[in-house]
Structure 1
Amino acid sequence: MWKWLHSYADPERAYKLAGTLLPWFAFSAILLISVGTIWGMLFAPMDYQQGESFRIIYIHVPAASMSMAAYMAMASASFVGIVWQIKTADWVAASIAPIGAVITFIALLTGASWGKPMWGTWWVWDARLTSELVLLFLYLGVISLYASFEDKVLAARAAGILAIVGVINIPIIKYSVDWWSSLHQPATIKITEKSAMPMEMLAPLLINIFGFGLMIGAITLVRYKAEILARNGMRPWVRELAKAEASK
């Protein structure tokens, strides 16, 4: 069932696939984020309780949701790298980690900016906020482990184990509002129930969530290509690629 993974253990093939996917991800991300942000910031109706300040939701919610999605992608790649010994999967995880850290920081920053007018304070040690902060520390821990070992195989193993163990924090972030008393509002988007937002507010939010996901994918592909080149600098195909680029 998983034999198809091994075909992408070849760095050259993985590099070509990343190059093929990158323009599609990048163009789609730019289009969706542009549409979702302009629609949400300028044309969505004002919230009757929060006024205009609610519009930060169009940045905060996509960043927060994708911070968790990126972590799951990183942990999944680490799992593949450890179990199937596929180095290219380790490089995927290494490529995602800094992006996930930045997205998590954006989620925390926009959440604090939203919390100030709503709660009267920039920060509270709320279950949702605290677990999201732990997520940032997990990303930083993974990044540090990758950079702490000269042996990149050992670094990938150590960072991968931390990434996999850290998955336990994801359901805590997701369900913290339901499990504990929290200032943070409940989930706005619901799959099994009717969403709390009208469609004219919800549509641009969903567009931005997908756009942020594609943006993370695009940046990951850029970093992944660079990671492949850095790890395979002496391979003949990399030298040929460098000569082709130099001759342009």
Structure 2
Amino acid sequence: MSNWQWFHRLGSPRWFYYKTEGWVPWLAAVSGILLVLGTVWGLAFAPPDYQQGNSYRIIYLHVPAAFLALIGYYVMAVAGAVGMIWRMKMAFVVMKSAAPIGAALTFLSLVTGAIWGKPTWGTWWEWDARITSMLILLFLYLGIMALQAAFQSRDAADKASALLALIGTVNIPIIYKSVDWWHTLHQPATLKLTSAPTIHSSMLYPLLTMILAFYIFYALVLILYTRAEILRREGRTQWVIDLVKEEAKKP
């Protein structure tokens, strides 16, 4: 199958729903194992930091959540762009499904950052460039969710949400580069593609495990949200009616 054929098949709600059915248990198992492994490794076996002591361990939740909050916004924005350009309804389904997941991850990032900030900076909140731009990201996610609920027309809601998602992408590089562009309390990035990590391997490996776990968990939750949204949108189609009948027959 060519990439173009795969792309068009992926645009079919029915094909996506049935194709991903077998992925769910595998993604759930792998993400669950990695989450348990990374959590136990990071909280119980990684050594304390020589300056921050044990308070640094919040990074095993904070960093993966922040990573996925940013990546998830791009997923949402790209899906919105695909929906507007190729008028692919599955893309709009993915865009809508990605919004609440991204909002939850952004909220988790802000909360864990506040928990880390209290013993480190002496305050729960600071109008720091990185923190403020992350708060704007949360508002963008919530704004897209609000737009989806505000319009009676699904088509109008999808287009308005996609437009806001695309406009909001300017905030992502600001978040990433804020610690470099402005004087900020937030420490520079621990992991960079252009340089070696600034964290010891005994702390790095459990962090990488948690990041991988979050990526797989994100894929799992996005697929589940998307499958649920497909059933909502396609509820009157014959294939969904037949699916419901088949499920009803099962013991």
TM bucket (normalised to shorter chain) is over 0.9
**Which of 229, 233, 242 lines up with 1:227 in the alignment?**
229
Q: TM-score, structure 2 length as denominator?
A: 0.96
Measured on the aligned residues, the alpha-carbon RMSD in Å equals: 1.1
**Per-residue CA distance 1:205-243 (angstroms, 9 max, x = gap):** 011111111111111111111111111111111111111
2:51 maps to which residue?
A: 49
Deviations 1:66-103 (A, max 9, x none): 10011111111111111110001100010110011011
Give how far 1:166 is off.
0.4
Distance in 1 between the 2:98 and 2:28 partners?
16
1:24 Cα deviation (Å)? Answer: 2.3
Number of equivalences: 248
Return the alpha-carbon distance in structure 2 between the equivalents of residues 6 and 154 of structure 1: 23
The answer for the alignment partner of 2:71 in structure 1 is 69
Structure 1 runs of 4+ aligned residues shifted over 6 Å read none
User: Unaligned 5+ residue runs, structure 2?
Assistant: none
Structure 1 residues not aligned, in runs of 5+: none
Q: If the length of structure 1 is used for normalisation, what is the TM-score?
A: 0.97
Indicate the residue corresponding to 2:7 in structure 1.
5
1:163 matched to which residue of 2? 165
Counterpart residue type for residue 149 of structure 1: F
What amino acid maps onto 2:26 in structure 1?
A: W
How many Å apart are 1:164 and its aligned residue? 0.8
Q: Which residue of 2 aligns with 1:31?
A: 33
Give the 3 Å change call, closer, same or farther, for CA 2–223 of structure 1 in structure 2: same
Q: Distance in 2 between matches of 1:227 and 1:196?
A: 41
Q: Provide the C-alpha distance between the structure 2 equivalents of 1:193 and 1:11, rounded to a whole number of angstroms.
A: 42
Identical amino acids, percent of aligned pairs:
49
